[in-house]
Amino acid sequence: MADFSLKTDNRYSAAYRNGKTGFTAGYYTAKQMKGLFPSGGVRVVGQLGYGKESEIIGSLTDSNGATEPVYMVRAKANKKVSGYIELENGTFVTVKKDITAVIVILVILALAALAGLVFGIVYAVRANANKEPETTKPYGELAGEQEEGFGKLDLPEKADVASKNVTIIGIPEMHLKAGQLRQNFILTNSDKNNDICFMEFTFYIDNNGDKKIDDGDEQIYKSGLVRPGYSISEFSLNRELQAGEYKGLVMEQPYTYDKQRSPLNNMVMATTIVVD
């Protein structure tokens, strides 16, 4: 079990409190994080407020000596990320909020709206077993303050993207953990790509240092397709990395947001991979 150290000299705008244990800690809201880290690249190592006892990876201690368990990063439909607590080593733990009551209210309102529709309207519901899930496994945290939810996608046969621009989020620096395959790092397909494209992320170690992908470079990770406005925050590398700094390359490959998933022009960016 790890003992995580809180970084207390931050300009937090909200606070997490556990009435049972007395634990209190400030945190950045999800909106603040978007302003502080517009390009993403935040390393999340755990979460507060949701998890099983078997998923506890350590604990946090506040200024009064009260402790709070830190759980492995997990996503669930009725849990929303409300903020981020910074640790002394520059990583973060997320604060999870239960939104079950909100979901219940929305369901009730939706049912009421359906009940009020004019009699005689017929709805055709067709199941399609070949539709893709909304994001790739592991599901990870969602971008921004969007609602969590998993279901099936109703994709068009062919998307009209001829006059549209794809938004790419740069990753100038990537912090990974040494000596393990499992990593926590947020990879986001911008919500500006809504109805335009899925995104696939591939990482390379740039062995030649020429800032372009060639035969001498090593691929260390390749994601599945990530839906617009969604992110992956937890994934596994192809091999463990030793501590140090590596010259890296990130290829973000968009595919049309339709059943054909045709590849569009990709972007290859240089990055520094910091492993500690």
pLDDT tens, position by position, 107-116: 555 555 544 4
- 192-218 pLDDT, tens digit per residue, is 888 899 999 999 999 988 989 998 999
Mean pLDDT rounded to a whole number for the chain: 76
Q: Is residue 172 one of the residues assigned to a domain?
A: yes
Report the first-to-last Cα separation within the chain, whole angstroms.
Answer: 18
Are 139 and 248 part of one and the same domain? yes
How many domains, in total, are found in the chain?
2
pLDDT of residue 249: 95
Q: Is the pLDDT of residue 149 over 60?
A: no
Q: Is residue 104 one of the residues assigned to a domain?
A: no
pLDDT of residue 122: 31
Q: Alpha-carbon distance 218 to 204, whole Å?
A: 5
Are 12 and 83 part of one and the same domain? yes
Range 177-189 burial, b when 16+ CB lie within 10 A, else e: beeeeebbbbbbb
pLDDT of residue 19: 80
pLDDT of residue 229: 85
Q: Is the pLDDT of residue 145 over 50?
A: no
What percent of the chain shows pLDDT beyond 70?
75
Check the CA dihedral 57-62-67-68 and report its sign: negative
Looking at residue 196, its amino acid is I
- Where is pLDDT greater, at 74 or 111? 74
Are 171 and 49 part of one and the same domain? no
Beta bridge mates, 152 = 133
Tokens of 207: 């062995």
Q: Is residue 235 one of the residues assigned to a domain?
A: yes
Tell me the pTM: 0.49
Instruction: Average the pLDDT over 154-180 and give the result.
Output: 88
Q: How far is CA 45 from CA 56, 57, 95, in A?
A: 12, 9, 12
pLDDT of residue 13: 77
Q: Is residue 156 one of the residues assigned to a domain?
A: yes
Helix (H, G, I), strand (E, B) or coil at 238: coil
- Other CB atoms within 10 A of residue 10 CB: 14
- Other CB atoms within 10 A of residue 109 CB: 10
Q: Is residue 121 one of the residues assigned to a domain?
A: no
Q: Alpha-carbon distance 149 to 135, whole Å?
A: 10
Is residue 142 within 8 Å of 81, Cβ to Cβ? Answer: yes
Q: CATH number of the domain that 181 lies in?
A: 2.60.40.2550
DSSP state of 214: -
Instruction: Average the pLDDT over 143-154 and give the result.
Output: 45
Q: Is the pLDDT of residue 12 over 50?
A: yes
Q: Is residue 112 one of the residues assigned to a domain?
A: no
Helix (H, G, I), strand (E, B) or coil at 57: strand
- Other CB atoms within 10 A of residue 200 CB: 21
pLDDT of residue 111: 54
pLDDT of residue 16: 83
- 13-62 pLDDT, tens digit per residue, is 788 888 888 888 888 887 787 777 776 667 788 888 777 888 888 888 88
Q: Is residue 107 one of the residues assigned to a domain?
A: no
Measure CA 75 to chain center: 9
Range of the domain at 32: 2-98
Domain boundary among 45, 80, 98: 98
Are 91 and 140 part of one and the same domain? no
Instruction: Average the pLDDT over 253-269 and give the result.
Output: 90
pLDDT of residue 39: 63
